[in-house]
Structure 1
Amino acid sequence: MKIMIIGSEGMLGHDLVDVLSAENEISTTTIDTLDITDIDKTIKTVKNNNPDVLVHAAAFTDVDGAESNPDLAYKVNAIGTRNVAVACREADCAMIYICTDYVFDGTNTKPYYEYNQTKPLGVYGKTKHTGEVYIRDILNKFYIVRTSWLYGYHGPNFVATMLNLAKTNDTISVVNDQIGSPTYTVDLANAIAHLIKRPAYGIYHVTNSEHCTWYDFAKEIFKQSNIEVDVKPVSTEEFPRPAPRPKYSVLENYNWKMEGYPKIRSYKEALSDYLKLL
């Protein structure tokens, strides 16, 4: 297939290029080559590439920065996504939209299914959710892929931050009351490679299996890395940030399972592979 990847310079974008290029013809754009907030240029670029499937992996992902710059977050995540959706309609191609666990408010105590009520707390979650709404209004060939707690080789992430902090700190404080599923971008890219092979359109939750707190995740990172460091659990209130975080945002990969796709491996197994290649 001909696949176009918007946001190929990002952490997930890099892995999408690597994974999808094995069996498909790939075209890419970056923040420097396509401004998705320009609807005319977006339509023209997509129609020129004429893909069978477009993966929209570009976003304003600075969760705290979105609180202080809501207009830019909205312009990129909502209007930009609408523009990409319109371009996909014009080019008659399917669209994959990378979305987030932040569309939920985190008040659940059990994993969120695709059909659960969305209720984003902050600007980032609200703008990403608005992108979902635009896609559902404009297109009938789409996969909305919600994921969480991403880490990979090609961008700043929690694992890299922890390893860097351990070089200069004997004690590291990590939040212990936010629960989610750390997800390796290579595994997410492989899952997307499965999805695009069939027109089973809709909303999918795609994360590595099992869940933990950020504190648990930090402990696992240091355990697998054989690093001795004192990890201190703290509450969200003790570590204030501009944007509200969902306290519980574990995503049940329900549609994935119902479509018969293989269970995605544990975040612990994925972490092991990631650490081996650092």
Structure 2
Amino acid sequence: MNKRILVTGAAGQLGKTIEELFFKNNLNLDFVFVTKAELDITNYNEVKNYFNNNNFDYCINCAAYTNVEQAERTPKIAFNINAYSVKYLAKLCRENNIILIHISTDYVFDGEKDKPYTTTDATNPINEYGKSKLLGEKYIMDILKKYFIIRTSWLYSKKYGNNFYKTVLKKAEIATELSITTEQTGCPTDTVSLSNYIINTILKSTPSFGIYHFCGKKPMTWYDFTKQILLDNNLSNKINLVKVNNYCTFARRPKFSVLENTK
């Protein structure tokens, strides 16, 4: 019997990519994809009723509030989606014997290291987004025994959602010059790679639960990433790329948030 998997937040870039891979690869898995309009994870009773009327082996939680700047201005919204709703989801997964796969972030770290972060490194988020995601992680670990927390970084899709990759290409259509920061270093991660990693995690016969790190293999600054995007799309000669060292944002960002892809 095929494993039955619920994907929440299915309208986002990761959810859409998982859905595309499912239909493309004819996987021996039964996926159910729900958007916020179809299942609002911040509504406990709605999720409870949904779980009572449907049987699942796994829940992949792709629902998240990822606007780092706005999270700093309206932290209540970020905590409601990234932490408190995750707490309720974890409780319902426990009650229904569902394995939770939760997507987290490199922003749970402060960026003060000069070596890649491991899963055992101390967390210390420096913005409200990171704090809300870390609290969500803690709820899961307190409530569940069967879970995967997968931290990733600088997630982007070439096809879906709003992300840095697509923003660069949009700006390149109308601008002749782009000023990009060199202050932050991370690992851009494409949704296809992460989706395959999640699917392979489910397909393993003897899963080892806990926290995992998965991100792109090559650390780079936002400037480096922009340079690569322009190169891949044959736009390098059309855009003058300018390095900026003091790019100001409302929310603080970790200067170095490279993750080590070990466990």
Q: Give the TM bin, normalised by the shorter chain.
A: over 0.9
Q: How many residues align?
A: 253
What is the aligned partner in structure 2 of residue 132 from structure 1? 137
Alignment partner of 2:43 out of 26, 38, 43:
38
Residues 114-143 of structure 1 deviation map (CA, whole Å, 9 limit, x = unaligned): 110000111100000000000000000000
- Whichever residue aligns with residue 244 of structure 2, its letter is V
What is the aligned partner in structure 1 of residue 160 from structure 2? 154
CA distance in 2, matches of 1:230, 1:30: 39
CA distance in 2, matches of 1:200, 1:19: 24
What is the aligned partner in structure 2 of residue 234 from structure 1? 244
- Whichever residue aligns with residue 4 of structure 1, its letter is L
Unaligned runs of 5+ in 1: 256-278
TM-score by length of 2: 0.93
What is the aligned partner in structure 2 of residue 259 from structure 1? none
Shift of 1:48: 2.1
Unaligned runs of 5+ in 2: none
- Whichever residue aligns with residue 240 of structure 2, its letter is D
What is the aligned partner in structure 2 of residue 178 from structure 1? 184
What is the aligned partner in structure 1 of residue 175 from structure 2? 169
Residues 246-270 of structure 1 deviation map (CA, whole Å, 9 limit, x = unaligned): 1000000111xxxxxxxxxxxxxxx
Shift of 1:222: 1.2
Alignment partner of 1:91 out of 93, 96, 121:
96
Residues 207-260 of structure 1 deviation map (CA, whole Å, 9 limit, x = unaligned): 12111000011111112222121110102x3x21111111000000111xxxxx
Does the residue aligned with 1:194 lie in a helix, a strand or coil? helix
What is the aligned partner in structure 2 of residue 196 from structure 1? 202
- Whichever residue aligns with residue 252 of structure 1, its letter is E
- Whichever residue aligns with residue 198 of structure 2, its letter is I
What is the aligned partner in structure 2 of residue 123 from structure 1? 128
Shift of 1:83: 1.1
- Whichever residue aligns with residue 212 of structure 2, its letter is Y
What is the aligned partner in structure 1 of residue 227 from structure 2? 219
* Structure 1 vs Structure 2 CA RMSD: 1.1
CA distance in 2, matches of 1:76, 1:111: 28
Shift of 1:96: 0.3
What is the aligned partner in structure 1 of residue 112 from structure 2? 107
After superposing the two structures, state which structure 1 stretch, 167-176 or 38-47, moved more.
38-47
TM-score by length of 1: 0.88
Residues 28-48 of structure 1 deviation map (CA, whole Å, 9 limit, x = unaligned): 221111221222221221232
For the pair 1:5 / 2:10, whether they are aligned, the reply is no
